Structure 1
């Protein structure tokens, strides 16, 4: 009798467990199908440029002129690739020191004040729409560069500054989590050996958390690499390689967003834009692999 009662009580739990497993498997299957569908769609469209329209891969990656409607049509994506990499890397070089210093301040120097006031302000930056960043850059940064430096103010420098503010929350948050997860025994051992707070920070804390800090930088670069609207408003969107930071340039995302609506599906110009999207997707995979590699080298 007791065994039958226990079996009756166990049946609802078994049903709930079975429903949970099925629901979880369906969600995982949906995610996998969605990812593979996106990859297949972008790859099939992007590769059509080479296999259907017979555009040379080397010409696309190394060409300097983008004239899709010309005779003959020219599809040189190097200016867009250069613009994307230059703005993203320069933005990371600007945002990384600021993010690291903010994280060290919040965790090691003034944790109560930093966590209470500074961290909410930095996290608030992540919720601001990109069009707002672009409008502020167009209204503040571009006129400042126009008055101080030669040129019209638009260019890689303006785009990099806008992107640096946009990726600052990502770098700061990851750095803060990495510093907070550091075992207290390491710092206490350093203090016990007579090291000062600053010696402990730059000789123990930062070297130990370096892989996690680099992960934040890579994720920030990935975030900046795929940004379209904010950069498009301040970079000038000129399809050439600039000779200075204050000349107009263009990125992969701005080239796609500006031209995709003006091309017909299936044409060589449209397929070339999908090839640019394929380059963006491949670079995203590269960033993911780098992040995984850095996580594997973590010392924590």
Structure 2
């Protein structure tokens, strides 16, 4: 069994390495031809322009992706974490079973269904509430993504909280601390790594989501504004890969490489923060 586990672990590492090599091999040439500065910091995206030179600036898509992910995390993480705390510490019996079933159902809903609900419900509601001609905007994308990351955050955070030994709670309560203070000062810090893993996976879901965002964001390559149509990195690839060729196709692979680096950077930063916090606690 030790050998089997070792092989499985090595296969995971090999898969990551192969994906990295593949993305660099296909994405780097296009970025090199366009120019790193023009590609990353250019504000115009006209890859098929005929009346002027094509433009391959993806800064609007980068900023839109960052803001959409950040907004979804800002809304989804507190709701997901509080839901996980309720399920792990307070919910009992049939109430807990029903809520867990609903969370599991949210996790199983296809992305296109989220997009349809967003297009039919969220987009018109945003237009009506804020008096906009169209509700297809960055704000609508944030709302849809916030709901989509909830199942991941809730399920992983709940498992992490339930894994904290009962002795931690009992010791804290025995010292006269209230139950709520015990949860936030003892249980939650003890489950910090598991909760952080849920947040990282939720961020990955938000960054990599395509279908739902296509249906609610408007998909115009604009510098991001909360109530303006935007295009994210993932939607840019999905919408244009079918007809792209030559340098245009290479530029889309370059967007994929930027997206891959973005997700890797998020994982590395969060893991380092968790490890540094763990070292400080040991000291």
With the length of structure 1 as denominator, give the TM-score of the two structures.
0.84
Between structure 1 and structure 2, the one with the greater Rg is 1
**Alignment counterpart, residue 208 of structure 2, candidates 208, 219, 226:** 226
**Equivalent residue number for residue 74 of structure 1:** 55
Q: Which runs of 4+ in 1 moved over 4 A?
A: 23-34, 297-300
- Provide closer, same or farther for how the CA distance between residues 31 and 210 of structure 1 changes in structure 2, counting only shifts above 3 A: closer
- Provide closer, same or farther for how the CA distance between residues 181 and 295 of structure 1 changes in structure 2, counting only shifts above 3 A: farther
Find the aligned partners of 2:112 and 2:91 in 1 and give their Cα distance. Answer: 33
Q: Counterparts of 1:261-276 in structure 2 under 5 Å?
A: 261-264=242-245, 267-276=246-255
Find the aligned partners of 2:89 and 2:81 in 1 and give their Cα distance. Answer: 11
Find the aligned partners of 1:177 and 1:200 in 2 and give their Cα distance. Answer: 18
Question: Per-residue displacement from partner, 1:93-115 (whole Å, max 9, x unpaired)?
Answer: 11111111111111111243454
Unmatched 5+ residue regions in structure 1? 1-16
Q: Counterparts of 1:179-258 in structure 2 under 5 Å?
A: 179-243=161-225, 245-258=226-239
* Structure 1 contact 175–212 (Cα < 8 Å) conserved: yes
- Provide closer, same or farther for how the CA distance between residues 259 and 139 of structure 1 changes in structure 2, counting only shifts above 3 A: same
**Alignment counterpart, residue 285 of structure 1, candidates 264, 276, 280:** 264
* Structure 1 contact 156–235 (Cα < 8 Å) conserved: yes
**Equivalent residue number for residue 125 of structure 1:** 106
Q: Is residue 2:117 matched to residue 1:136?
A: yes
Find the aligned partners of 2:163 and 2:7 in 1 and give their Cα distance. Answer: 34
* Structure 1 contact 187–204 (Cα < 8 Å) conserved: yes
Name the SS for the 1:182 alignment partner: coil
With the length of structure 2 as denominator, give the TM-score of the two structures.
0.89
**Alignment counterpart, residue 17 of structure 2, candidates 22, 36, 57:** 36
* Structure 1 contact 171–217 (Cα < 8 Å) conserved: yes
CA RMSD of aligned residues (A): 2.3
Segment of structure 1 superposing worse, 29-38 or 103-112: 29-38
